[in-house]
Amino acid sequence: MTVLTIATQPIAGQKPGTSGLRKKTPVFMGAHYLENFVQSIFDAIGGAAGKTFVLGGDGRYFNDRAAQTILKMAAANGAAKVIVGQNAVLSTPAASHLIRLNKTDGGIIMSASHNPGGPEEDFGVKFNMANGGPAPEAVTEAMFRRTTEITEYRISDAADIDLGRIGATTVDGMAVEVVDSVTDYAALMETLFDFPAIRAMFAGGFRMRFDAMCAVTGPYATEILENRLGAAKGTVTHGTPLPDFGGMHPDPNPTWAHELMAEMMGADAPDFGAASDGDGDRNMVVGRGVYVSPSDSLAVLAANAHLAPGYARGLAGVARSMPTSAAADLVADALGIGKYETPTGWKFFGNLLDAGRATLCGEESFGTGSDHVREKDGLWAVLLWLNILAVRQQSVATIMAEHFARFGRNYYSRHDFEAIATDKADAMMAELRASLAGLKGQSVEGMEIAGADDFAYTDPVDGSVSQKQGVRILFTDGSRIVMRLSGTGTEGATLRVYLERYTPGPEGLDRDPQEALAPVIRAAHALAKIAAHTGRTEPDVVT
């Protein structure tokens, strides 16, 4: 077996977005594409020599082939060892946990997360650091720079490794340890939550539906919910991971998880429903007849986390991405703990978690997590909800109603306009940005604009600055519009419009969010001239 040095050339567009590099699968399968990016990762982190990494992915199409290539490149770059999930499958939070548990130098995760998978759909690769969290911007920028100057990569010509068999092996002198994908993650969950209490709740007839959407969480959810917690067999649906997710769009929101929504809103609905995304870091939570928006879920979890053993000491602080509603801030204020507002993307939570400033983090995009790993964690959020339900012995609807009565309600919605021509979306955002300075004091839809800016973030731990993280328009009544373009899509541009309006109560706490937000929605369309720029009047996805 020998190490081959292959001559290559830079390939345009290998710039990591909100969460790693995502492209259409055929692009990733193109000559040198994956190899150039993986070599650039190794180069950007100071080489792989002597290092230990974790490797796994969400099992989508090309996951198996990409894993073999990455292992052979790690070996050729002198890595000491790679810990791989069986069949190269690991959920994103499980990969983060393995990086931390084994004190490795980082890990490579193969996933395009909530994007569809298959030969014509999406694939992705991202690098996580030794803390288990996504590489920060300085590192992803170094990777991108490297892709623009790369001239060669190194790869072993060894035969493929059998990743189906758990145990130790080697490739070209590098140790490879194939581990069960679920065991260590499930053990971590047992340390955080009151499994006996949740087990007793299921034994008492509590019914649940978990939709794994034919993605990576199937085996994790089946082991934890059905085998360890005693939920009825069949609680987990779409529980077998498939390379194309069975044609499903593994994005747990009311639009794409419509089967779960229909069941939870129907007659004889279970007590609790949840869904997760392609790589298992997202969660949607639904009670019988009641949908819980992710921003509200973060707030409820923050207010009740102390009911779970892993958080009984209380929380150091709560962090949310800027577009996420301020519902969690109200809880942080009531608890007298820190609150943080970061740009979109989990990589911005890493420093706050490492520094012990934040314990819980969340995004409006169905992401919730804590300092137990350095990624958002879908199943973790579901288990925390179950722990809270087991202790409070109330329905999800009652818990939500009590929460709103205590804190008021931040009506919230995100409207996505997908596959807009990139030049049109860019022109719209440019015009909107140019108008911001003059917006203060203007009145729109009967609401006065208190201020408008382009969100910039200074990391309180390392002082790094991230500019242009989304346009904010704030109104004097506390309502808010945020607009930004997606950094995870692979086709054209996706405009995300985030809408928020606060109602203190006690009246008006159970309105339909779209109706409560109607003036804010109209204001967003008027201020950004969405129809004039894009031709769109209605969003493609409403969450």
Stretch that binds Co ion, among 113-121, 199-207, 331-339, 525-533 (CB under 5 A): 113-121
Instruction: Check residue 279 for interaction with Co ion (CB under 5 A).
Output: yes
Choosing from 18, 96, 140, 387, the residue that interacts with ligand VG1 (CB under 6 A) is 18
For 77-229, where are the alpha helices, taking DSSP H only? 92-101, 137-147, 183-192, 195-203, 217-221
Owner of token pair 């204020």: 333
Q: How far is CA 429 from the centre of its chain?
A: 24
DSSP 179-217: E-SSHHHHHHHHHHS-HHHHHHHHHTT--EEEE-TTSTH
Choosing from 253, 283, 344, 479, the residue that interacts with ligand VG1 (CB under 6 A) is 344
- In the bound complex, which residue of the shown chain has the CB atom lying closest to ligand VG1? 113
Q: Are 277 and 253 in contact (CB under 8 A)?
A: no
Stretch that binds Co ion, among 105-113, 133-141, 328-336, 355-363 (CB under 5 A): 105-113
Instruction: Check residue 416 for interaction with ligand VG1 (CB under 6 A).
Output: no
Q: Which helix (H) or strand (E) holds 330?
A: helix 327-335
What is the DSSP-derived secondary structure letter of residue 134? B
Residues 139-198 that bind Co ion (CB under 5 A): none
Stretch that binds ligand VG1, among 190-198, 275-283, 298-306, 418-426 (CB under 6 A): 275-283
Report the distance separating Cα 458 and Cα 65, nearest Å.
40
Nearer to Co ion, 282 or 501 (CB): 282
Instruction: Check residue 91 for interaction with ligand VG1 (CB under 6 A).
Output: no
Kindly state the smallest distance separating residue 422's Cβ from Co ion, in Å.
23
Say how many CA atoms lie within 13 Å of 299 toward its Cβ.
29
Report the distance separating Cα 487 and Cα 470, nearest Å.
11
Choosing from 469, 486, 490, 543, the residue that interacts with ligand VG1 (CB under 6 A) is 486
DSSP 373-410: SSS--HHHHHHHHHHHHHHH---HHHHHHHHHHHH-EE
Instruction: Check residue 133 for interaction with ligand VG1 (CB under 6 A).
Output: no
3-state secondary structure of 25: helix
Residue type, 30: G
Q: Are 278 and 345 in contact (CB under 8 A)?
A: no
Instruction: Check residue 253 for interaction with Co ion (CB under 5 A).
Output: no
Q: Are 110 and 123 in contact (CB under 8 A)?
A: yes
Instruction: Check residue 416 for interaction with Co ion (CB under 5 A).
Output: no
Give bridge partners of residue 412 from the DSSP assignment.
500
Choosing from 194, 211, 251, 277, the residue that interacts with Co ion (CB under 5 A) is 277
Give bridge partners of residue 413 from the DSSP assignment.
499
Buried b (16+ CB within 10 A) or exposed e, 386-412: bbbbbbeeebbeebbbebbeebbbbbb
Instruction: Check residue 245 for interaction with ligand VG1 (CB under 6 A).
Output: no
Kindly state the smallest distance separating residue 369's Cβ from ligand VG1, in Å.
11
Instruction: Check residue 487 for interaction with ligand VG1 (CB under 6 A).
Output: yes
Stretch that binds ligand VG1, among 149-157, 189-197, 289-297, 363-371 (CB under 6 A): 363-371
Kindly state the smallest distance separating residue 111's Cβ from Co ion, in Å.
7
479 is a catalytic site residue: no
Instruction: Check residue 346 for interaction with ligand VG1 (CB under 6 A).
Output: yes
Choosing from 310, 367, 513, 539, the residue that interacts with ligand VG1 (CB under 6 A) is 367
Residues 184-203 that bind ligand VG1 (CB under 6 A): none
Stretch that binds ligand VG1, among 39-47, 160-168, 225-233, 482-490 (CB under 6 A): 482-490
Dihedral in degrees, nearest 10, Cα atoms 493, 128, 1, 164:
-90
Question: Residue 506, preceding bond cis, omega within 30 degrees?
Answer: yes
Catalytic residue among 91, 96, 113, 321: 113
Instruction: Check residue 490 for interaction with ligand VG1 (CB under 6 A).
Output: no
Kindly state the smallest distance separating residue 462's Cβ from Co ion, in Å.
25
Stretch that binds ligand VG1, among 173-181, 309-317, 342-350, 421-429 (CB under 6 A): 342-350
Q: Which residue, among 348, 314, 349, has the nearest Cα to 332 in the 3D structure?
A: 314
Give how far Cα 103 sits from Cα of 28, 131, 169, 230, 423, Å: 30, 8, 20, 33, 44
Instruction: Give how many residues touch ligand VG1 by CB under 6 A.
Output: 18
3-state secondary structure of 104: coil
Instruction: Check residue 345 for interaction with ligand VG1 (CB under 6 A).
Output: yes
Kindly state the smallest distance separating residue 277's Cβ from ligand VG1, in Å.
5
Instruction: Check residue 19 for interaction with ligand VG1 (CB under 6 A).
Output: yes
Instruction: Check residue 60 for interaction with ligand VG1 (CB under 6 A).
Output: no
Buried b (16+ CB within 10 A) or exposed e, 342-379: bbbbbbbbbbbbbeebbbbbbbbbbbbbbbbbbbbbbb
Instruction: Check residue 364 for interaction with Co ion (CB under 5 A).
Output: no
Instruction: Check residue 488 for interaction with ligand VG1 (CB under 6 A).
Output: yes
Nearer to ligand VG1, 22 or 154 (CB): 22
Return residues touching Co ion (CB under 5 A): 113, 277, 279, 281-282
Which residues form the interface with ligand VG1 (CB under 6 A)? 18-19, 113-114, 277, 281-282, 321, 344-346, 363, 365, 367, 486-488, 496
Catalytic residues: 113
